[in-house]
Amino acid sequence: MNPVNAVRPTTAEERDARTARNGGAPTLEFGRKVPYDAYVHASTLHTLQRTLSGDPGEMSFLVVSQIMELYFKLIRHELEQARDHVRADQMWEALAPLKRAALHLEGLNAAWQTLRWMTPADFNKFRDLLGEGSGFQSAMYRQVEFLLGLRTKSLMRPHKGTAAYDELEAALHQPSLWDEVIALLARHGYDLKPELLDRDVADEHEAEQSVSDAWVRVYRDTSPENHLRLLGEALTEVADRFGDWRYLHLKAVQRTMGAKSGSGGSSGLAFLQRSMSRPVFPELWTSRTEM
């Protein structure tokens, strides 16, 4: 790290002394680099909004898209933390990143609200300039899907020959969060089909009755020390909020372009409707019928 751009750590004592010297006012002189910018890199972030048209509404579309990309990265980070805890039998520790992931998904979903002004006429003012660019090409979103257990290998192909492809390839061959949860159930004595633990994790998991039966047993134990039940509810919250994301995405597309073909070559609305039919953590939902 360049020393000029480094954030200098301080202690509570230093902060109190500075406040006393300043008489309670903020420090206004920092030399060559403002500490906030050294940490957040806001001056870099604000150079990344490069619109393609003269339409003022395009800035909203671009900034919200970038905000969503940052949320995807944050959600991936939390889901990776949760997966590592589950793999290590640390159910209690897995709850915090899952709760954060659910809250980040709420923030992600709220971002759709700021595009509700956009009509087809508004979108058409700059849509052609986007060429074949489409949100389904987001490598970071695909990373989130892989972690949740949604694995469509063909959707990696737009990134062939890039560093993003290598990262997706590596993620594809690692167990998803749900794969690790299933392995956790097996380690805790639940009777699951053996092939579930030996399958190729690059293939998408499909709902299996023995996993659903295990969750019925988990939920019937209402004792406070049943951390598996708490884990199930934290996972359900993530799946629920992710379902909200998919629905809001579909509604945003329906609002701005109806059933027209998608920019990236898909059928647009119909493609999103098919995607929504693949549930996240399927046995958490099928087991509820039997509870």
What is the per-residue pLDDT across 68-108, written as a single tens digit (0 to 9) for each?
Answer: 999 999 999 999 999 999 999 999 999 999 999 999 999 99
User: Average pLDDT in the 42-68 region?
Assistant: 96
Which pLDDT belongs to residue 243? 95
Phi, psi at residue 166, to the nearest 5°? -60, -40
User: Average pLDDT in the 20-48 region?
Assistant: 91
Confidence of residue 183 (pLDDT cuts 50, 70, 90): very high
DSSP conformation letters of 169-210: HHHHTSPPHHHHHHHHHHHTT----THHHHS-TTSPP---HH
Is a pLDDT exceeding 80 seen at residue 259?
no
Which pLDDT belongs to residue 23? 92
For 66, the token pair is 């970038």
Which pLDDT belongs to residue 93? 98
Which pLDDT belongs to residue 1? 45
Which pLDDT belongs to residue 31? 81
188 is in an annotated binding site: no
User: Average pLDDT in the 26-54 region?
Assistant: 92
Q: Where in the chain is the domain with CATH 1.20.58.480?
A: 64-289
50 is in an annotated binding site: no
Supply the pTM of this predicted model.
0.92
Which pLDDT belongs to residue 76? 98
Which pLDDT belongs to residue 271? 74
Is a pLDDT exceeding 60 seen at residue 4?
no
Q: Which CATH architecture has domain 64-289?
A: Up-down Bundle (1.20)
Is a pLDDT exceeding 80 seen at residue 265?
no
What is the per-residue pLDDT across 136-179, written as a single tens digit (0 to 9) for each?
Answer: 789 999 999 999 999 988 889 999 999 999 999 999 999 999 99
Q: Give the residue, 288 or 7, on which the prediction is more confident.
A: 288
The beta strand positions in 37-119, using DSSP E, are none
Q: Which of 228, 209, 204 is nearest to 279 (CA)?
A: 204
Measured CA angle at 25 (ends 24, 28), to 5 deg: 145
